[in-house]
Amino acid sequence: NAGVTQTPKFRVLKTGQSMTLLCAQDMNHEYMYWYRQDPGMGLRLIHYSVGEGTTAKGEVPDGYNVSRLKKQNFLLGLESAAPSQTSVYFCASSYAGPYYEQYFGPGTRLTVT
Amino acid sequence: AQSVTQLDSQVPVFEEAPVELRCNYSSSVSVYLFWYVQYPNQGLQLLLKYLSGSTLVKGINGFEAEFNKSQTSFHLRKPSVHISDTAEYFCAVSNTGGFKTIFGAGTRLFVKA
């Protein structure tokens, strides 16, 4: 039981490049989330999904897209990376809605130069 | 709209001393409240949560928190800290009828020998 895994762990991009971050969970959770963590700002929700095939915008969705084609996977895409997207990205999952705790992955550290 | 304020960005404390990390929230509806801990270079993990019932909630590693509805607070306490408690602590709030969890900016607890 691996919990929540994220790929890759580190990445450096040049401005304008694209990339996809992969999140996978093996707990059969319905809800999945993408957050970014910046110093002094806590975690901010980028996008979330309440089930396979559904996605919704969070607090800071601009510049990101997501897909949830399979229940266990939640992909975060950056189409044209900008230095402002330099951050640590965390994926999380929960059994259902906000009543339940979230389980977090180890994070992806992204630097955009 | 919900919001979470963690009143201290950093809390230095000596080993075996008591500690309190303060959290205030605002919401117009009933809430669920959480404390998560993040150790260096890791994802967040749940310390404790308040869903309903007793206002004093006990969590892992000897931490406890008290829900105070009139003060809209959910302060985290531990009577005697250890070096291993050095980490960042996040307070979080969810609406009972919503999909999302809002995180505070975090409090960095630094335990000194």
Task: Decide if A58 and B101 are in contact by the 8 Å CB cutoff.
Answer: no
Q: How far is A38 from chain B (nearest CA, A)?
A: 9
Task: Decide if A42 and B42 are in contact by the 8 Å CB cutoff.
Answer: no
* Residue A29 pLDDT: 96
Residue B70 near chain A (CB below 8 Å): no
Scanning the structure block, which residue is given the tokens 């806590």? A42
Band (pLDDT 50/70/90 cuts) for residue B71 is: very high
* Residue A39 pLDDT: 87
* Residue A97 pLDDT: 82
Chain A hits for B105, CB-CB cut-off 8 Å, are: 40-42
Band (pLDDT 50/70/90 cuts) for residue B1 is: confident
Kindly report the number of other CB atoms within 10 A of residue A107's CB atom.
Answer: 21
Scanning the structure block, which residue is given the tokens 């095939």? A53
Band (pLDDT 50/70/90 cuts) for residue A8 is: very high
Residue B96 near chain A (CB below 8 Å): yes
- Residue A103 and residue B109: Cα distance in Å, rounded? 22
Average pLDDT over residues B70-85: 96
3-state SS assignment for residue B56 = strand
Are A20 and A76 a contacting pair, CB within 8 Å? yes
Residue B3 near chain A (CB below 8 Å): no
* Residue B20 pLDDT: 98
**Tokens describing residue B27:** 């919401």
Going by their DSSP bridges, the two strands B107-112 and B10-14 should be labelled as parallel
Interface test with B, best of A46, A94, A102, A109 (most B CBs within 10 A): A102
Name which residue leads in pLDDT, B64 or A41. B64
